[in-house]
Chains A and B, each alone.
Chain A
Amino acid sequence: MKAIKTHDLTKSFGNLVAVDKVNLEIEQGELFGMLGPNGAGKTTLAKMLSTLLKPTSGYAEVWGNDVTLKQDEVRRCIGVVFQDPSVDDKLTGRENLDFHARMYGMKRELREKRIAEVLDLVDLTEKADIQLEAYSGGMQRRLEIARGLMHRPKVLFLDEPTLGLDVQTRRHIWNYVKTLNRKEDVTVFLMTHYMEEADYLCRRIAIIDKGRIIALDTPQNLKRLVGADVISIEADSDRLVDLLQNFSWVEWMTEEDGVMNLGVKDGKARVPEIVMAAHGAAITIKAISLHEPNLEDVFLKFTGKKIREEEGDARQHIKRIVRAMRRKR
């Protein structure tokens, strides 16, 4: 049995297809990542898998339970950490966890034992009895992760667990996620738009854009798809494109905001070649750089654009900023 399995899973809102025929198979115990820009459909997918939204068509099961027919069974075996905060800030950390445990029907001794365990796991034991309004953003996030684990779920959904957090806190949370995946033996389904996050944490990654999965493999294999090296060039003329097309060793090429990206083998040797050729054609190269491929390049290769904040509707955007600020406080 797979931890998660979907077949042509689709969700549309009116004319907008948010999730478009997604097929996934996630193994038990896997740390699986879904990488894509905001608005790519990650959250919608997570909401369907966690029974908050009903699929428009297609099929999905979590731990062998159909998400539309066996909602209660699905809910019992998943833990969810939502993108936006979902704690009660008038309750203490312990009370938030206790509320959760009671909602999952846990008996008193088990509740107390488990609360102590998960608090320890995320280093919040000392802050357990203060109200959440006094928590920092990172602490609040850690508490939400601990809460998602309270009832020993088989599958834990993490939707942008480090959104709006500083680099140091992000590192901490990554380590918690790695630890719990191992210690608690929980399957983790991570949704993120930070490529470093997916790269660092996940065994396999699906890249999603406009509701479709465009690539799925281990981070290493995905990067191998891009080629050995990536050369980025900024030049003063469009003729560079024509020039580069003449080179047979250019494996792929995309342009983004006036910057050309090329996938090549043995990039070190190609840089002088490009500069020479450009010079010969009277094109001035303003900047040129060479780097090993990362997941950003993979996304770029498949979609022709970068993973970056897409403009959502203004209100959602403002809400997100306000929330991020509230977290940082």
Chain B
Amino acid sequence: MEFSLGYTLWLREMKRFFRLKSRFIGTLGMPLFFLIFLGMAPINLPGSSEGGYISFLAPGIIGMILLFASMGAGMNLLWDKEFGFLKEIMVAPVKRSTIVLGKTAGGVTTALIQGLVILVLALPFGLKLTGIYPQFTILGFFLGFLASIGFMILIGFTFVGLGVSFASRMKDFHGFQLIWNFILFPIFLLSGALFPLDVFPGWLQYVAYINPLTYGVDGLRGSLVGVSEMPLLVDFAALVISSAIMISIGAYLFSGAEVD
């Protein structure tokens, strides 16, 4: 029963996603331009010898689109508030946690689709996919592809959770810009998406290591181009923990919110 209710909510998110094409293209824009223009920079980084800087950068940009898309999906709860649809959901005999999970499932799915679109788009710009080993093997490629989907889903859960948390506490869109520029961008820039973390001073590195996206980007790099700073299992475990925490916080804050 609760599962089919969650499915109903997921289905709605999917329909909206495919009908709001301009929003989808809008979200893709920035990561795509980062990828194309930063990817041209003549930067040589250790570990990116195989495919050049673009192969270091592309997993970071996939992390970026996942961050933006899933955070956006969580915060589109505010749209439902603004346009009244949330009330329709809230008077139905549905558990509050089911509402959050349905919304999250929808957000993660749409974020995953966007992540895969960026992955494919990065190929003509020189991304060399090798899989979980630095040298290409069929098995490594296959495992790496599966692992990267796992990482994308976990990044999705973490940041949809964060988005839902913020949206539950906000009345309208007034704080949106603030969150985007002062929370989302630092999360992105401090994740090692653009360059390795060791360029940062020590204290900032600590900050980076409590940033879930750091593990997401590292995990994506490990599974797509075979180079990672931490073992993939560490990345995986860190993201499982951050997902669980963020979804719980989101569900808790959402349950406590009164609709008006």
Interface residues in chain A, defined as those with a beta carbon under 8 Å from any beta carbon in chain B: 47, 50-54, 72-73, 75-76, 78, 80, 82, 84-91, 95, 99-100, 102-105, 131, 147
Contacts and interface: CB of A to CB of B under 8 A. Distances in A.
Contacts of A90: 15-16, 19-20
B105 to A, nearest CB: 15
Interface in B14-43: 15-16, 19-20
B258 A84 contact: no
Contacts of A53: 258, 260
A86 B5 contact: no
A53 to B, nearest CB: 6
A73 B92 CA distance: 10
A102 B87 CA distance: 16
A103 B94 contact: yes
B178 interface: no
A88 B81 CA distance: 11
Interface string B57-95: 000000000000000000000000001111111111110
Given A82-B87, A85-B83, A103-B89, 5 more contacts: A52-B259, A75-B93, A90-B15, A104-B92, A105-B4
B97 interface: no
Nearest to A78: B91
Contacts of A50: 91
B79 to A, nearest CB: 10
B83 A89 contact: yes
Given A78-B91, A85-B83, A103-B89, A95 B15 contact: yes
Contacts of B258: 52-54
B8 interface: yes
B84 A85 contact: yes
Interface in B117-149: none
| Residue among A51, A90, A104 facing the most chain B CB atoms (10 A cut-off) | A90
B38 to A, nearest CB: 34
Nearest to B18: A90
A72 B1 CA distance: 14
Contacts of A86: 83-88
B8 A102 contact: yes
Interface residues of B, number: 25
B124 to A, nearest CB: 32
- B-side binding surface: helix, strand, loop or mixed? helix
B169 interface: no
Contacts of A85: 83-84
B5 A102 contact: yes
B91 A75 contact: yes
A328 B175 CA distance: 30
A207 to B, nearest CB: 24
B3 to A, nearest CB: 11
B12 A99 contact: yes
A84 B20 contact: no
A87 B84 CA distance: 7
B258 to A, nearest CB: 6
Contacts of A76: 93
B84 A84 contact: yes
B112 to A, nearest CB: 21
A73 B93 CA distance: 8
Residue of B1, B20, B84, B89 with most partner-chain A CB within 10 A: B84
29 contacts: A47-B260, A50-B91, A52-B87, A52-B90, A52-B91, A54-B258, A73-B93, A76-B93, A80-B91, A82-B84, A82-B87, A85-B83, A86-B83, A87-B88, A88-B16, A88-B83, A90-B15, A90-B16, A90-B19, A91-B16, A95-B15, A99-B8, A100-B88, A102-B8, A103-B5, A103-B89, A103-B94, A104-B92, A105-B5
Contacts of B87: 52, 80, 82, 86
Contacts of B260: 47, 52-53
